[in-house]
Amino acid sequence: GEAIVGGRICLIEDVKEIGRFVDGAILVTRITDPDWVPIMKRAAAIVTDHGGRTSHAAIVSRELGLPAIVGTGNATHVLHDDQEVTVSCAEGDQGFVYEGIAKFEVETLDFSSLPETTTRIMLNLANPAAAYRWWRIPAEGVGLARMEFVVSNHIKAHPLALARFDTLKDDKVRAEIEALTTGYADKTEYFVDSLSRGLARIAAAFYPKPVIVRMSDFKTNEYAGLVGGAEFEPKEENPMIGFRGASRYYSPRYRDGFALECQAIRRLRNDMGFNNVVVMIPFCRSVKEADKVLEVMAESGLKRGEDGLEVYVMCEIPSNVILAKEFAKRFDGFSIGSNDLTQLTLGVDRDSGELAGLFDEQDEAVEW
């Protein structure tokens, strides 16, 4: 964000200690994941040792409207509990932590006087609860609604652990899923119902303006972290360029899970009436892969062009740029994914703190 806040630090290194978090404190920790969200919602600001601009802490903080400084390297060693500091994200691309409570001024903008722009300005959202926080902003809809937030924070279970519940070997996992799906005779219905309702909150906040929902783009290590996920995910050396995005949708390894995602989108559009929802496919490596995904979607009741359904694709791999004309024949629009496009053009792991200085979305090779 671009905010600034002063307050006392609450340093927590292990998620097991979140019970001692003080409401309104500045959370300082090594790294966050979905287990930290309950206290992130109660924090005034967040500072982490690890992570980049696309890390969990950065994305969730943006959704919550919190100032966050990630990838500091040594915050948990330099800062300490009850220390008074000011966290500033209002001074450009770099954030700063100042000792003591600094004085600052707040400027309030009147949105009603903003001029119209030729380019349609749209929001990026993931947290359904945040949709009603930002609806007053004069945006032309949602350009990216991330499905993963609903799955990891509300559903919590791996879709295949629900679809193939009877094959699960871990009794503890089975018990967790039984608890999560209480009241549902069909465990897959829990996934479809929860996902469609979560996304509906975003679609409703901006209706009838378009809401572009990206289908799941977890990496295998992230999927494995969901309840029951470890039994279904391969271990990869580099999940960032591994079994993710479009390649999962038609693969026997995940096809049943993707079918549940499609069911949720169908319910969202056809049963709930949110025909403003547009589907977007992430990390589609080739035009052949695009054809396979569109075929699988059609088999699941989501056929491009039917009932006004538009299907977009993320332009985040060099092949998407090189073969843009071919991809354009198969999709209704593109969304430029600058993070992955930068990563794959410059050969820089976007989550690497060591290489953070080389990750530049404005590098001439990326802009070319």
State residue 1's pLDDT score.
Answer: 61
Q: Sheet containing 277-281: which strands, arranged edge to edge?
A: 123-125, 142-146, 211-214, 277-281, 311-315, 333-336
Q: State which CATH number among 3.40.50.2300, 3.50.30.10, 3.30.450.90, 1.10.443.10 fits the domain covering 4-99.
A: 3.50.30.10
Contact 129, 149 (CB under 8 A): no
User: Which has more confidence, 33 or 78?
Assistant: 78
Checking if the pLDDT of 117 tops 70, the result is: yes
Q: Could you tell me the pTM of the whole model? A: 0.81
CA dihedral 108, 110, 114, 120 (to 10 degrees): 80
Tokens standing for residue 149? 């937030």
State residue 187's pLDDT score.
Answer: 97
Question: What is the domain partition of the chain in residue ranges?
Answer: 4-99, 119-336
Per-residue pLDDT band at 138 (split at 50, 70, 90): confident
- Considering only 20-29, 132-141, 229-238, which range has the smallest mean pLDDT? 132-141
Average pLDDT, stretch 45-51? 92
Q: CA torsion sign, 107 to 112 to 118 to 120?
A: positive
- Residues 1, 110: Cα–Cα separation, whole Å: 19
Percent of the chain with pLDDT over 90: 74
Q: Name which of 68, 6, 1 is nearest 31 in CA terms.
A: 68
Element (H, E) at 367: helix 364-367
Average pLDDT, stretch 196-203? 96
Per-residue pLDDT band at 122 (split at 50, 70, 90): very high
- Distance of alpha carbon 313 from its chain centroid, rounded? 16
Contact 279, 213 (CB under 8 A): yes
Per-residue pLDDT band at 360 (split at 50, 70, 90): confident
State residue 112's pLDDT score.
Answer: 77
User: CATH for 119-336?
Assistant: 3.20.20.60
